[in-house]
Amino acid sequence: MRNETLQVIEARASTRVFADTAVSPEEREAILAATLRSPTAGNMMLYHIIEVESQSTKARLAETCDHQPFIAKAPMVWVFCADYQRWYDYFEACDVRTMCKERGIEFTTPVEGDLFIAACDALVAAQTSVIAAESIGLASCYVGDILENYEEHVELLGLPPWVMPMTMVVFGHPPARRDGAPRRMPRFDASFVLSKDRYHRRSRSEFDRMADPIVKALFKKRTFFDNTANLGQHYYARKMAAPFTKEMSRSVRAAIRRWCGGNT
């Protein structure tokens, strides 16, 4: 089955080089309008978008997010945050503490479960923006490295305790390509990401079949450029053992501590 929406999803690829063309106000508004219609828990819209326009802030994010210069050159940069601060500021404005006292209800502040549901809202909104952009001819790229260097990002973006950056998305017009098509990486076959009723763990032979399309696409003659023996070793060395991953884990722990102990 094919329709226009499915074709847009199938065609999307991460783009890190953009044409020297600004995102028009009409394009921005179309993406924003679609994003605001994203599914959201309890219709609470537990996310916040910080649109980074300052060139100096873009340049700093290009450094703090694992030294990626394309961020500074992107025409439009949105940071998607989990946000319970807006609701708790509203609760204070509505004198919810007094209501709780009168009714014998404990007034609690956000903890881990609230963070996770707000993170879901933020990521759903981000993906909606990406598909909306693709549908009108714009390209995009996720930047998960916004999770690093939490303390600096708090200061740089002015984040209160119950706002945590979840992802950053950069947008722009795709550059012209000689072959007319973006470079799209293969994905695992559905049989390796879908189980019925219960989680299915894989055997080594199954893992070899799972990895095969990516190995063929990434590594000519199946020689790994970092002297590892297979795709599992390659990804562990490149991701799990990398300094940026250790920093991301440290940063996220700091963010969760601040969220759970946050005070206004």
| Ranges of each domain in the chain | 4-184
Q: At what angle do helices 85-93 and 96-103 cross, to 10 degrees?
A: 70
Q: For 141-146, what is the mean pLDDT?
A: 98
Chain position carrying tokens 């404005």: 93
Q: For 123-143, what is the mean pLDDT?
A: 97
What integer pLDDT is reported at residue 114 of this predicted model? 97
* Averaged pLDDT of the chain: 93
Query: Which band of pLDDT confidence, cut at 50, 70 and 90, is reported for residue 264?
Result: very low
Of the chain, the percentage scoring pLDDT greater than 70 comes to: 94
Determine whether domain 4-184 maps to CATH 3.20.20.100: no
8 Å CB contact between 96 and 181: no
Query: Which band of pLDDT confidence, cut at 50, 70 and 90, is reported for residue 31?
Result: very high
pTM for the whole thing? 0.92
Among candidate residues 175, 179, 182, the one with its CA nearest the CA of residue 73: 175
Q: At what angle do helices 112-135 and 4-11 cross, to 10 degrees?
A: 100
Q: Which of 193-207, 211-225, 228-242 has the highest mean pLDDT?
A: 193-207
Report how far residue 224's alpha carbon sits from residue 231's, in angstroms, rounded to the nearest whole number. Answer: 8
Radius of gyration of the chain (CA): 21
